[in-house]
Chain A
């Protein structure tokens, strides 16, 4: 069994309660280890993707654009330019002679065709190698077209997703500070780090609205360029998915003096706490706000809790493995599973930081395996060893769980079911319940064998 773990990766795996907690992370992935991670380009594409009225042009060979074509569930209430996949589709001769000319021509062509509010140009691996001056082309085209044309330095090999988040934040930061902020309420926020998967940001915005809070910019779910341009007029930044957008919040704090708080909209406590934290922030300016926040939570819970109880009955005691992109999401998931009576026995992420993992270790039960930048061999080993009933992850983890006869919940950017907010918690419970209690698992050979062994044991007694 231990064979599944690479010697070089031993310090990226920890079992809580066994020795002092120290987990190596933020390392380059090990060659040949089949990491579940993507690249810098992926990181910036994820963050910027939902800005729906911007042109997103991938400067590189076709693959980078094609693999990110409309794969996410980020919805828009208006324009849908983000769902198209634009590429310069670099060819051999472009690689030899440079792609700047092609980039410029492609940009002019697409801006003319789509009249976007801004354009983001993503530099891919190859562009970094051939040394195209993407920034210069962008400046040139911005001048000609009169819209912001923003280079995103997202060369894939420059690190992992985290560097991509940074590149995205830098790109968005260039937009802030350029719009009119005169009509913005003093009780106002920007929502950072929510991508409106399956319409989630609409749920969250509604809660804030009911509290009397104006949302200036969605960054970036259902995002609009003009909103980001005036985002510096908001009184507070509320940051979810801190890995992705915390850096933008920090830059905005430094430059515009806008404070930020961290939030999560997943699960009951975290959702409620996020609303309360915003109310707390504004309570001096708006004395009634806490009351209204409590009212929102009360109303929602009165609908949610009775329904949740139904699911909990069947799920009590079942064991869960979590492997997600960002560690911050894992905190909320652990708490959400407690509401369902389920026990998290494995938790890992692609890109957690030292602080993330320390925090995770602190809230996990003893014996929980914590893992950074894992791979299919390790994950399948732990699923078996820890006798997991349900796995939470993304597309690449799904077949691992399914092959082992383990229920699965899709909790990544491709989800088409809203999992945030109080209503999202119900959807989450429903999905978890549907998979973990399905009768199909009894036919999966591993489960069948386990049931047989169990029966034989009982017989022996």
Chain B
């Protein structure tokens, strides 16, 4: 339930469900995200995503008009899929619904079954559908629902056992994904990262404009997920009835380990422990060394950040992860806020700060920036940690904002920003210390040359 006392929402601290689904579908090779709804939704989401990643983001739409809103969107859905097949040559079409089509009662699974029958003479792509009414949940629910839909609809048979690990990383940056894939490779296992936006949302400059950006999880790899050693799902917050990992475990007996997004030492330790458990391979020395350097950096930098009071906001999983990190370096998370509501947000915040803070940090869910701001006046934070949307507040309160997560559209390179594992945490810690140092230097009348 929401912790906001207000009926109205001011400056929401969340995005809508289909956006998460569209972004997740972008992480499958040859897939085009397809929104079943009116044209504007797809266009707005494209704009929003492009402003963070600075990459093309084609989202098709069934472009429903008034007539279709009355008589049903089926014909447009079918025609739209045929059109993206012919022009984009998509091998996967990820269909996400919108509030419009959910409410007019379009039965998408039935329409898609009809479509497959009507056009059975054509080489049809895989069509994955997910229900994402924007009046229910946030972009993270959309993301996780799309990932679950990919696993449950595309993985149909038990694959041959293989030394593979399935990784459902949650919404982390392309740079994070590359880092995670390197780690899995160093454990000597093939990795199926679902979804994998590391390439598709951070492409090199190439000879041509790609209709569909290369990269993303291949269909073959997705199908082979049922034969993996196990799955690791990152993200502690409970979102969907059955996650992708839980689904594969129930149907195919693929062991599913749930860990947080690995930010900070303890959460990264848990991630590496999960990898050790599934692969029976000890953590390579390279990562032990990274961990050691991170601890060393914590020691060197601890006094600069000790006792700083931070407000953390954004996606529930990232808020939990950042809180875990801040608590272990001695920064006090004085408010952990998210626009989402989920069953276990507060319990998980308590879990990740156990032994680090005298008591669990104050947490509020279902809140907007108005709620956060109202409380912040009393809290007097030294620091904000979250995405770009907190900027105006940081400016108003004259405190620095350390940008993490999505969206980052008032700075450059959000997609190349690392947050995860020891390496990513190292970069975060360095940035955080430098944010604090810079502020101290600027605030000083004399501007010390050494700090």
In the complex, which residues of chain B have a beta carbon less than 8 angstroms from the beta carbon of A36? 43
Contact with B along A62-79 (1 / 0, CB 8 A): 111111111100000000
Contact with B along A384-420 (1 / 0, CB 8 A): 1000000000111011101111000000000000000
- In the complex, are the beta carbons of B12 and A66 less than 8 A apart? yes
Query: A67 is contacted by which of B10, B47, B69 (Cβ under 8 Å)?
Result: B47
Does B40 reach chain A (CB closer than 8 Å)?
Answer: yes
Select the stretch in A135-143, A310-318, A335-343, A441-449 that faces chain B.
Answer: A441-449
Contact with B along A39-51 (1 / 0, CB 8 A): 1111000000000
- In the complex, are the beta carbons of B65 and A28 less than 8 A apart? yes
CB distance from A356 to the nearest CB of B (A): 20
In the complex, which residues of chain A have a beta carbon less than 8 angstroms from the beta carbon of B47? 67, 71, 394-396
CA distance A29 to B40 in the complex (A): 11
Return the chain B residue nearest A42 by Cβ.
B40
In the complex, which residues of chain A have a beta carbon less than 8 angstroms from the beta carbon of B424? none
Known: A67-B47, A156-B41, A156-B100. A110 touches B54 (CB 8 A): no
Does A35 reach chain B (CB closer than 8 Å)?
Answer: yes
CB distance from B397 to the nearest CB of A (A): 16
In the complex, which residues of chain B have a beta carbon less than 8 angstroms from the beta carbon of A227? none
- In the complex, are the beta carbons of B83 and A61 less than 8 A apart? no
- In the complex, are the beta carbons of B62 and A31 less than 8 A apart? yes
- In the complex, are the beta carbons of A63 and B37 less than 8 A apart? no
- In the complex, are the beta carbons of B205 and A405 less than 8 A apart? yes
- Max chain A CB contacts within 10 Å: which of B37, B38, B46, B339? B38
Known: A31-B76, A376-B58. A37 touches B205 (CB 8 A): no
Query: B9 is contacted by which of A89, A399, A405 (Cβ under 8 Å)?
Result: A89
Contact with B along A405-442 (1 / 0, CB 8 A): 10000000000000000000000000000000000000
Return the chain A residue nearest B389 by Cβ.
A69
Interface residues of B in 44-80 (CB under 8 A from A): 44-48, 50-51, 54-66, 68-69, 76-77, 79-80
Does B136 reach chain A (CB closer than 8 Å)?
Answer: yes
- In the complex, are the beta carbons of A34 and B61 less than 8 A apart? yes
- In the complex, are the beta carbons of A32 and B46 less than 8 A apart? no
CB distance from B386 to the nearest CB of A (A): 15
Known: A395-B50, A399-B54. A4 touches B136 (CB 8 A): no
Query: B56 is contacted by which of A28, A95, A400 (Cβ under 8 Å)?
Result: A400
- In the complex, are the beta carbons of B135 and A32 less than 8 A apart? no
- In the complex, are the beta carbons of B12 and A62 less than 8 A apart? yes
In the complex, which residues of chain A have a beta carbon less than 8 angstroms from the beta carbon of B48? 67
- In the complex, are the beta carbons of B58 and A57 less than 8 A apart? no
- In the complex, are the beta carbons of B99 and A32 less than 8 A apart? no
Known: A31-B80, A67-B44, A156-B40. A125 touches B11 (CB 8 A): no
- In the complex, are the beta carbons of B135 and A86 less than 8 A apart? no
Known: A66-B12, A95-B99. A446 touches B207 (CB 8 A): yes
CB distance from A105 to the nearest CB of B (A): 4
Does A30 reach chain B (CB closer than 8 Å)?
Answer: yes
Known: A109-B7, A110-B8, A156-B100. A39 touches B209 (CB 8 A): no
CB distance from A154 to the nearest CB of B (A): 10
Does B200 reach chain A (CB closer than 8 Å)?
Answer: no
- In the complex, are the beta carbons of B38 and A403 less than 8 A apart? no
- In the complex, are the beta carbons of A126 and B205 less than 8 A apart? no
Return the chain A residue nearest B105 by Cβ.
A129
Does B219 reach chain A (CB closer than 8 Å)?
Answer: no
In the complex, which residues of chain A have a beta carbon less than 8 angstroms from the beta carbon of B88? 377
Contact with B along A143-156 (1 / 0, CB 8 A): 00000000000001
- Max chain B CB contacts within 10 Å: which of A69, A396, A443? A396
Known: A32-B34, A156-B41, A396-B47. A129 touches B69 (CB 8 A): yes
CA distance A71 to B50 in the complex (A): 13
Does B133 reach chain A (CB closer than 8 Å)?
Answer: yes
CB distance from A34 to the nearest CB of B (A): 5
Does A128 reach chain B (CB closer than 8 Å)?
Answer: yes
Query: B60 is contacted by which of A34, A380, A443 (Cβ under 8 Å)?
Result: A34
- In the complex, are the beta carbons of A94 and B61 less than 8 A apart? no
Does A305 reach chain B (CB closer than 8 Å)?
Answer: no
Interface residues of A in 10-54 (CB under 8 A from B): 28-42
CB distance from A12 to the nearest CB of B (A): 14
Return the chain A residue nearest B4 by Cβ.
A89
Return the chain B residue nearest A376 by Cβ.
B58
- In the complex, are the beta carbons of B99 and A57 less than 8 A apart? no
Query: B135 is contacted by which of A41, A94, A106, A404 (Cβ under 8 Å)?
Result: A94
Return the chain B residue nearest A60 by Cβ.
B99
- In the complex, are the beta carbons of B103 and A158 less than 8 A apart? no
In the complex, which residues of chain A have a beta carbon less than 8 angstroms from the beta carbon of B11? 69, 84-85
In the complex, which residues of chain A have a beta carbon less than 8 angstroms from the beta carbon of B10? 84-86, 110
In the complex, which residues of chain B have a beta carbon less than 8 angstroms from the beta carbon of A90? 99, 135
Does B152 reach chain A (CB closer than 8 Å)?
Answer: no
- In the complex, are the beta carbons of B100 and A62 less than 8 A apart? no
- In the complex, are the beta carbons of B66 and A35 less than 8 A apart? no
CB distance from B41 to the nearest CB of A (A): 7
CA distance A99 to B208 in the complex (A): 48
Does A459 reach chain B (CB closer than 8 Å)?
Answer: no
- In the complex, are the beta carbons of B39 and A29 less than 8 A apart? yes
- In the complex, are the beta carbons of A62 and B16 less than 8 A apart? yes
Does A3 reach chain B (CB closer than 8 Å)?
Answer: yes
- In the complex, are the beta carbons of A125 and B99 less than 8 A apart? yes
Does B145 reach chain A (CB closer than 8 Å)?
Answer: no
Return the chain B residue nearest A412 by Cβ.
B47
- In the complex, are the beta carbons of B133 and A92 less than 8 A apart? yes
- In the complex, are the beta carbons of B103 and A129 less than 8 A apart? yes
- In the complex, are the beta carbons of B6 and A395 less than 8 A apart? no
Does B159 reach chain A (CB closer than 8 Å)?
Answer: no
- In the complex, are the beta carbons of A30 and B63 less than 8 A apart? yes
Known: A130-B103, A156-B41, A396-B47. A65 touches B12 (CB 8 A): yes
In the complex, which residues of chain B have a beta carbon less than 8 angstroms from the beta carbon of A69? 11-12, 389
CB distance from B261 to the nearest CB of A (A): 22
In the complex, which residues of chain A have a beta carbon less than 8 angstroms from the beta carbon of B207? 445-446, 449
Known: A95-B135, A376-B56. A4 touches B206 (CB 8 A): no
CB distance from B135 to the nearest CB of A (A): 4
- In the complex, are the beta carbons of A62 and B14 less than 8 A apart? yes
In the complex, which residues of chain B have a beta carbon less than 8 angstroms from the beta carbon of A88? 7-9
Query: A403 is contacted by which of B12, B76, B205 (Cβ under 8 Å)?
Result: B205
Interface residues of A in 278-321 (CB under 8 A from B): none
CB distance from B43 to the nearest CB of A (A): 4
Interface residues of B in 189-244 (CB under 8 A from A): 203, 205-211
Does B19 reach chain A (CB closer than 8 Å)?
Answer: yes
Does B82 reach chain A (CB closer than 8 Å)?
Answer: yes
Does B104 reach chain A (CB closer than 8 Å)?
Answer: yes
- In the complex, are the beta carbons of B83 and A157 less than 8 A apart? no
CA distance A234 to B8 in the complex (A): 37
- In the complex, are the beta carbons of A399 and B100 less than 8 A apart? no
Interface residues of B in 84-143 (CB under 8 A from A): 84, 87-88, 98-100, 103-104, 133-136, 138
- In the complex, are the beta carbons of A102 and B7 less than 8 A apart? yes
Query: B99 is contacted by which of A29, A34, A61, A109 (Cβ under 8 Å)?
Result: A61
CA distance A63 to B141 in the complex (A): 14
Does A6 reach chain B (CB closer than 8 Å)?
Answer: yes
Known: A34-B58, A62-B16, A65-B9. A6 touches B205 (CB 8 A): no
17 new A-B contacts at CB < 8 Å, known A41-B40, A398-B54: A28-B63, A29-B63, A32-B60, A36-B43, A37-B39, A39-B39, A39-B41, A40-B40, A62-B138, A63-B19, A67-B47, A87-B9, A88-B8, A90-B135, A106-B8, A109-B6, A110-B10
A selection of 9 A-B contacts at a CB cut-off of 8 Å is A29-B61, A30-B63, A32-B62, A62-B9, A92-B133, A95-B135, A376-B56, A395-B51, A445-B205
Residues of B at under 8 Å CB distance from A? 6-12, 14-19, 34, 37-48, 50-51, 54-66, 68-69, 76-77, 79-84, 87-88, 98-100, 103-104, 133-136, 138, 203, 205-211, 339, 389, 392
Residues of A at under 8 Å CB distance from B? 3-4, 6, 28-42, 57, 60-71, 83-92, 94-95, 102, 105-107, 109-110, 125-126, 128-130, 156-160, 376-377, 380, 383-384, 394-396, 398-400, 402-405, 443-446, 449
